[in-house]
Structure 1
Amino acid sequence: MTNAFVAQSLDEIRFWSRIMKEHSLFLRLGFRCEDTQLIQEANQFYRLFEDIEQRSHSFTNQTDPEQMRRFNSEVQQAATGIFAFKRKILGLILTCQLPGSNNFPLLVDHTSREANYFRKRLIELNEGKLKPLADAIIKENVFFLRIMADHAQFIGHLLDPSERKLVDMARNFSHDFDQLVFQARDLESMKPQSQTVPLLDQFLDQNRVSVASLRDFKKTARDLIEECRIKSIIHPLLADHVFREAERFLHIIDMFEKNLQTQK
């Protein structure tokens, strides 16, 4: 169990610290040139999470659990800091104090939700209060399905309007994932009666098909952007960023399905 705690902690930190680092870059690129204080703060968070990411690779699954807990707490404080930074930016945008910024309010909110997820995940690990399997399945899917829906919307808005076919595909994915979010929330509202193995199994199967399809679309878009074969204002790193998050979701679905099989 102690090895599992350390392994889970390292997996979360290695994945999400890179995501937080990249969020800092994307936010910085969206600021106006006169937003020097915000640019400086974004750069500080970039360096902070780059350091965390690098340090995480000095740990192994045999690391002392107490040492891991201390590192988790340190990273959780960093995640709380970038969460507060993102919410500050969102407030500035929504009160029209950053006119001309290229950061969509939904994108800033999206990145803050991921930071909050990361910090809460580390708290749960340190306190040993991981959710029961059925609760975790529904909650994780509600969170990640919304993330996938957001990604489809961002892609649709950042592609050049002349890329009509790709824009239409992104909009269709956005609609499909909005529907999946509603379905997941319906299942959540029916708890605990909805937490049967057959229902959860079908729920995961359906989501996997849709996420795999979106993942493949993201991979195609990423490759085309890297090869300069389509017109967009999507940074190549952002294209890879959203692809990796879809891969992460598929990994989580597979993990849940494997655990469900033991309950049949």
Structure 2
Amino acid sequence: MADMFVSRSLEEIRFWSRIMKEHALFLSLGFSYTDKQLIEEAQHFIALFERIEEQLSQYSNNSDPQQIRAFNTHVCQAATAIWAYKRKVLGLTLQCKIRSNNFPLLVDHISREAAYFANRLQDLNEGKLKPLPEAIIKENVFFLRIMADHAKFIGHLLDPSERKLVDQAREFSHDFDQLLFQAVDLDSMRPQSETVPMLDQFLDQNRVSVASLRDFKKAARDLIEACKIKSNIHPLLADHTFREAERFLHIIDQFEASLTAKS
């Protein structure tokens, strides 16, 4: 169990610290040149998560669990701090106190991911390693909403002349909205729905849709990097959303393995 705690902790930090660093970069790129303080704060978070990535290299799966627990606490504080920064940016945006190229939904989206990261580290430090059926459904609700948001952002950031790709992004947005509503319905049906067959079907359906979106993101990323698509999508943002879809698929695999072990 101690080995699982260490490996899971390092895995979460490795993935999400990079995501947090990139969020800060994307925010900084979207601000107006007059928003100097907000840009400086974003740069502070880029440096903060770069230091965390450097510290991460000092640990391995054989590290002392007590050291990892302390590291989790440190990183959780950083995730909580960037969450507060993102919520401040969202508030300023909604009050029209700043004008930027960062959609309010995008800022809300990345703040939800920071909260998720902080909560994951807290759960690990509390010994919550194996997911319960309730946690499986709630985690899928979280990630399905993330995937739906990604499709919306892609659709809005593509040049309007990219009609076929815009239509595909809208279709993915609609499909993931429906999957999200379905997951919310399943969540409200508990405990009657807490059976392995129903959760298996739920995860299988999600995997097919996420894999399809992942492939779309990969194709779009490759075309953006080759300058074959007209858009306002930064190549790193395209890769960023691709990696998050890959992460969701990895989590679905972990959940299915956990259900198989219980059956």
Q: What is the TM-score with the length of structure 1 in the denominator?
A: 0.98
One-letter amino acid of the counterpart of residue 36, structure 1:
K
Question: Separation in 1 of the partners of 2:119 and 2:234?
Answer: 29
Question: Separation in 2 of the partners of 1:155 and 1:129?
Answer: 35
Question: How many residues are paired up?
Answer: 263
CA-CA distance at 1:136 after TM superposition: 2.0
Question: Separation in 2 of the partners of 1:50 and 1:242?
Answer: 20
One-letter amino acid of the counterpart of residue 120, structure 1:
N
CA-CA distance at 1:228 after TM superposition: 0.2
Taking the TM superposition and a 5 Å limit, the aligned residue runs for 1:5-154 are 5-99=5-99, 101-130=100-129, 132-154=131-153
**Residue 262 of structure 1 aligns to a residue in which SS?**
helix
Q: Which residue of 1 aligns with 2:224?
A: 225
Q: Which residue of 1 aligns with 2:187?
A: 188
CA-CA distance at 1:79 after TM superposition: 0.3
Q: Mind listing any 5+ residue stretches in structure 1 that lack a counterpart?
A: none
CA-CA distance at 1:259 after TM superposition: 1.5
One-letter amino acid of the counterpart of residue 240, structure 1:
D
Question: Could you list the per-position Cα deviations for residues 84-105 of structure 1 after superposition, in whole angstroms to 9, with x for gaps in the alignment?
Answer: 0000000000000013x10100
Is it true that 1:204 corresponds to 2:203 in the alignment? yes
CA-CA distance at 1:255 after TM superposition: 1.0
One-letter amino acid of the counterpart of residue 106, structure 2:
L
Question: Separation in 1 of the partners of 2:260 and 2:131?
Answer: 15
Question: Separation in 1 of the partners of 2:163 and 2:219?
Answer: 16
Q: Which residue of 2 aligns with 1:168?
A: 167
Question: Separation in 1 of the partners of 2:172 and 2:256?
Answer: 24
CA-CA distance at 1:119 after TM superposition: 0.3
One-letter amino acid of the counterpart of residue 42, structure 1:
A
Question: Separation in 2 of the partners of 1:53 and 1:168?
Answer: 38
Q: What is the TM-score with the length of structure 2 in the denominator?
A: 0.98
CA-CA distance at 1:193 after TM superposition: 0.8
8 Å CA contact 2:130–2:258 kept in 1: the answer is no
CA-CA distance at 1:263 after TM superposition: 2.4
Superposition misfits of 4+ residues, deviation over 4 angstroms: none
CA-CA distance at 1:261 after TM superposition: 1.4
User: How much identity, in percent, do the aligned residues show?
Assistant: 73
Question: Separation in 2 of the partners of 1:197 and 1:91?
Answer: 42
Superposed CA RMSD: 0.8
User: Against the structure 1 CA distance between its residues 179 and 238, is the aligned structure 2 distance closer, same or farther, given a 3 Å change threshold?
Assistant: same
One-letter amino acid of the counterpart of residue 169, structure 1:
Q
